[in-house]
Chains A and B, each alone.
Chain A
């Protein structure tokens, strides 16, 4: 079975541009979460989607947005890129949300560099 797949794996943007990152969850998983991992730190929560609805948002500016599609895949959009947005963006899927179904399975990530 395929794991969580993310695209693109690497990308370079300049300040002010926007970016769209894509994620396909594990088959049968209905929840997708996005995390930002800056070099040398642990992942930071950005969004959680379950059954195509936003169920949680971390402490990130409105430049960050996301959505989940009927097939449970997801997109993360970041507008007006800043240098500080350079990071590894991780998508994680889970079967559900709560206990015993909320284990996160991560993709390989999308490495974003903003120049």
Chain B
């Protein structure tokens, strides 16, 4: 069974800092990996999707990298803003998503 670990579990930073959220997974036979954002009381919002053949994807201030062979992905957030405060979930996909427990991010104004 796929095990997904996200580090750190929680992170509190002042506005403007660059951040790195880490994700590791045990089964590297994935189709792709997706990063989601979850706001309290809301559903999940897809942020970035990296196919297994890709090394990274970028969207605005977000950059996600994938090292499939070592079972790692990172989400880089540049110039963090208070609106980035949320829980970030990493989810590698085999026939279904396996989710980590997330990193709870708080960006202080």
Question: Do A and B come from the same complex?
Answer: no
Interface of B with A (CB < 8 Å)?
A: none
